[in-house]
A and B are shown apart, each in its own frame.
Chain A
Amino acid sequence: MSLVSGPGRGGITEGQLPSELRLYVDKHVTYIQSLDKRKDELEYWLTEHLRLSGLYWGLTALHLLGQPDALPRSEVLDFVISCLQDDGGFAAAPQHDSHMLYTVSGVQILAMLDALDEFDERVSGGREKVARFIANLQHPKTGTFAGDIWGETDTRFLYGALNALSLLGMTNLVDVDKAVEHVQACANSDGGYGTSPGAESHAGQVFTCVGALAIAGRLDLVDRDKLGGWLSERQLSNGGLNGRPEKLEDVCYSWWVVSSLAMIDRLHWISGSKLQEFILKCQDPDHGGISDRPGDMVDVFHTVFGIAGLSLTKYPGLVEVDPI
């Protein structure tokens, strides 16, 4: 799935009354289907290093829109398997390097397509090989995870590792308690979490940390009221959410913030209808796709997170998404 942006811009619905706003399901489906047919554009190739994640985002959006078969399953599987490297990790595209993020995307796609058994059939011992790749990236002393053999660590990788391992049913390969300890060390005094101990609270990192705790069964460690307070402060008067205090709103936080609120049972603390209005205003009603905010170019990343935000806030007609 290509990460090319455009062709359209979100926000052409500007000037419509809130009651006239609606979700352009068919347009979004066609938009996602078209993404891989744009190989004559430079951006298609410049975003190759993200392709596998892009595919996951596109597929997730289609599932939420109730059209899981809109991309051919066998082609998707072939592509995912072609990204598998000898070390057991997935790369973003064939002949790239393995990386935690794409390994997670690979596993997520296999799970979404209910293809984990098939994967084991096609690649002997495939599941375990992948799980071992992930487990080897855990730092034994700190419990955190690196993204690749070079050792950059980030709570994103830790969440990804636990997520993929739990889909593979192999969290027993890693030290979950140590990982939980590390997440705790990333908690800040404002109630939020950052990329590493001491780093500024950021809604995306809150999602990864709370998600990791949820998978580990340790949500009891979260101060729900304090974190919920900080998360709900992310909503601005236009209904959109930002990722940090005093920053601009962005559709992608409709996922990071709202799913975090859902995991700690505080989803009702923000205005769901105002958020929906904001997301719907970011659509391109002609060519499909959703942008970060009205007036900007659409892309698949913001499309899936916009749709997921709508699903979480119970927008009618969408498949319900699991916040974790």
Chain B
Amino acid sequence: MPKYAEDPAWSDVEPLPQNDGGPNPLAAIAYTEEYSEAMSYLRAVMASNDMSERVLDLTEDIINMNPAHYTVWLYRAKVLFNLNYDLRKEIDWLNDTALKHQKNYQIWQHRQTIINRLGSADGETAFIAKMFSKDPKNYHVWSYRQWLVRRFELWDEGEIEAVEGMIKEDVRNNSAWNHRWFLVFGRDSSAHKEQDVIERELEYAKKAIVLAPQNQSPWNYLRGVLRYAELPVSHVRDFALGFAPADSPDDVRSSYALDLLADVYEEQHQKEEAIKALDLLATKYDPIRARYWEYKKNLLEQPTAAA
């Protein structure tokens, strides 16, 4: 059923059909026809540089059918700015669209363009929370959130609390861990270098490890903080021993603890112990990466490696 061809608002536009050289095979499904018709009107308005309000309806229609079509988004933004359109209304519409199309990233680029022009982050955190309730690891949304924090200086505006809430909900959410790192260590100020901040972050990671010892994220975080603060790994030796007791290899509760202990032993020149830990990893606790553990063992054998 033609939609635009019979609409008086579009009667002055001559649609430009797809030119692919051959007979047009589009006939099979009604929905295909709809899409093809809308696209032919888009080509026509773009060719004549039509910036009227009806183009917003047209692009909305196409985006609903196919949000990944980047050209449509670009043209829509052009028209919005040209019309001085109410950008709050655009955001309201974008909210629904983003929730419908979780995997799409053009939406986020468009949102960034609009919010940047609006110059205000009001309501953004609430909407992001809504997105995360559907997929708490959505990469596009996390990237957008970082942009927002930088653009509007939101470092101390409830971000840490929000991220703690998310880690509480899922202690294995690596994206949330990354955002925490970004908030604490990614900003241009020296506050994060202070001793109490380092201690606080170490404690935070440790608490999360206790909840789920076989979880990469907090172990990576713990190591990251140690490296950042230029502390030796042996700083957390006793803590790690709690999950991988040296004297009872059957009671290892975390391969990451064992991995960290191997580094501790190396640091403290306890070569035998380090080899024992690496062997356990290669044979029992992480055999799929046996070659990696062997490599680490070989490094121990080389006298220069410790230097």
Contact = CB atoms under 8 A, between A and B. Distances in A.
Interface of A: 39-42, 45-46, 48-50, 91, 94-97, 99, 148, 150, 152, 188-190, 194-202, 228-229, 232-233, 235-237, 239, 244-247, 266, 268-271, 274
Contact of A188 (B25, B69, B113, B178): B178
Given A49-B69, A244-B137, A233 B216 contact: yes
Contact of A45 (B35, B77, B142, B185): B35
Contacts of B66: 46, 49
Interface residues of B, number: 54
Given A46-B65, A190-B223, A246-B215, 11 more contacts: A45-B35, A49-B69, A49-B70, A150-B113, A188-B178, A189-B228, A198-B186, A199-B143, A201-B178, A246-B173, A270-B291
B-side binding surface: helix, strand, loop or mixed?
Answer: helix
Interface stretch (B26-34, B51-59, B122-130, B189-197): B26-34
Contact of B35 (A42, A148, A271, A274): A42
A229 B216 contact: no
Given A45-B32, A189-B227, A269-B292, A95 B25 contact: no
A-side binding surface: helix, strand, loop or mixed?
Answer: loop
A200 B35 contact: no
Contacts of B113: 150
B224 interface: yes
Contact of A229 (B69, B77, B292): B292
Contact of B19 (A95, A96, A195, A236): A95
B269 to A, nearest CB: 19
Contacts, number: 124
Interface in B149-184: 172-175, 178-179, 181-182
A152 B77 CA distance: 14
A199 B146 contact: yes
Contacts of B28: 40-42
B43 interface: yes
Contacts of B172: 245-246
B228 A42 contact: no
B224 A190 contact: yes
Contacts of B284: none
